Structure 1
Amino acid sequence: MAIQEGDFIKLKYTGRFGDNVFDTTSDEVAKEEGIHNPQAEYGPVTIRVGSHHVIVGLEEALIGKEVGDEGDAEVPPEKAFGEHDESAVRSFPTSQFREKPKVGMRIEVENREGVVVNVIGKRAVVDFNHPLAGKTLTYHYTIEEKVEAPEEQIRGLIKLYTGRDDIEFTIADGTAEFLLPPAIAYDRRWMVWRGTLIREIFEWMEDVNEIVMKEVFKRPEKPAAPAAVEEAPEETESEEPEE
């Protein structure tokens, strides 16, 4: 059956700008292109088609395709990262920065992240556009499978948003109960995306009426007592037999 908007699917893809790979789900491609991140987990991602889990141009290319289809999509700027906005390029005094700004440096200023594109005298020119704004991109993709089970859909969303696979959960009697690992409150990515995850579960899974999140702490096991070491009996000198 053809892929439609609202379907959950597992997707592999590699995105390029010209000859340069900027994003991929393939460990092998990432290594070949010199962009491999040892901390990242590679492999197919679970997305909901039409929900902007990937850029719009790639989503549109998937609609109407079949599971197992492999293809290429050319994505213009307006369906990728937008046109380059000149008003998002501004200059700041170099004295405003903690370290001397250099061309290519990523910096945060006025609660926005940008890239230094020029330094003129005592002023630094910062571009707040996405690095790929104004670029036409190409994607090579493979549709691995449809994801039908709500549990697998939720698991895929957790992975997509937070990168975590250590969050256990159950769905029963209209309640989705999550058992959260200790110290998850210190995971910035989880804290940023938790609200989006909750909203999307309620929006797309009609059988879930309540979401419960529990942070679980288990009593640490006591170290085992060291095994007693038996001492060898002392050797005694044997008496010489009398002649």
Structure 2
Amino acid sequence: MALKEGDFVRLRYTGRVGENIFDTTDEEIAKEEGIYNPQAEYGPVTVRLGSHHVIVGLEDELIGKEVGAEGEVDVPPEKAFGAHEEEQVRSVPATQFREKPKRGTRVEVEGREGIVVDVIGRRAVVDFNHPLAGKTLHYSYAILEKVDDPVEQIAGLIKLFSGRTDIKISIADGVAELALPPAIMYDRRWLVWRGTLIREIFEYNPEIENVVMKETFPRPAKPEAAPEVPGTEEETKEAEE
């Protein structure tokens, strides 16, 4: 059966610009290409078609395909990260940075992230376009399966937004409960995307009336007592005296 907007699918993909891979769900490919991130969760991702969980050009390619389909697609800038706009390249005083700016350095200026593309005297030229703006992307993909279970769908959204796979999920009587691991509140990515996650849970699951996030802190284990080391015969006599 052909896939349509609203379907959740588990997807494997690799994205290239020319010969260079910039994104992949395959850990081995990431290591081979030198883009491996030890903090990332690799493996197939779960996305909802029509929700722009992947770039528009790739999403358009997937809609209408069937589970098991594999293929490749070229995605033009207008269906990827847009055109490269010259007005998004600005000259910024070097005094705005904590450290001396260098070419290729990613910086933040007035809440916007950009890349230093040149340094002229005491000013840095910063490109605020997306690094892939203006580029045609090439994707290879495989649609592994359709995901119908709401628990698996939510787990997929959590991984997609936060990269986490250690949150247990249960749904009962209109309540979706998420069992959060200790110290998750120190995870910046989780905090940034938590609101989006909740909104999408409600949007895609009309039967859910409440989302409960529960943290559990287990009692710390007591330290084991150090074993007694018996003294020598002379030490024992001295202690008795």
TM-score by length of structure 2 reads 0.91
Deviation at 1:89? 0.7
Residue pairs, 1:47-126, within 5 angstroms: 47-126=47-126
Between the aligned partners of 1:209 and 1:97, the Cα distance in structure 2 is: 46
Larger Rg computed on CA atoms: 1
Q: How many residues align?
A: 231
- Aligned-partner SS, 1:165: coil
Matched, 1:208 2:181: no
- CA deviations 1:2-27 (Å, max 9, x no partner) are 11111000000000011110000111
Between the aligned partners of 1:102 and 1:230, the Cα distance in structure 2 is: 63
One-letter amino acid matched to 1:60: D
One-letter amino acid matched to 1:75: V
5+ residue gaps, structure 1, are 232-243
Between the aligned partners of 1:139 and 1:100, the Cα distance in structure 2 is: 37
Between the aligned partners of 1:229 and 1:129, the Cα distance in structure 2 is: 67
Deviation at 1:87? 1.2
Between the aligned partners of 1:227 and 1:132, the Cα distance in structure 2 is: 61
Between the aligned partners of 2:96 and 2:170, the Cα distance in structure 1 is: 50
- Aligned-partner SS, 2:182: coil
Deviation at 1:226? 6.6
TM-score by length of structure 1 reads 0.90
Between the aligned partners of 1:48 and 1:204, the Cα distance in structure 2 is: 9
Deviation at 1:41? 2.1
- CA deviations 1:125-184 (Å, max 9, x no partner) are 100000000001110000000001001001111111111111122110011112212221
Match of 1:132 in 2: 132
Q: Is the 8 A contact 2:67 2:143 kept in 1?
A: yes
One-letter amino acid matched to 1:34: G
- CA deviations 1:22-67 (Å, max 9, x no partner) are 0001112112212122222211000001111110000000011111
One-letter amino acid matched to 2:136: T
Match of 1:238 in 2: none
Match of 1:162 in 2: 162
Match of 2:9 in 1: 9
Match of 1:193 in 2: 193
Match of 1:146 in 2: 146
Q: Is the 8 A contact 2:41 2:164 kept in 1?
A: no
Deviation at 1:229? 9.1
Between the aligned partners of 2:31 and 2:136, the Cα distance in structure 1 is: 24
Deviates more, 1:104-113 or 1:5-14: 104-113
Deviates more, 1:176-185 or 1:125-134: 176-185
Percent of aligned pairs with the same amino acid: 70
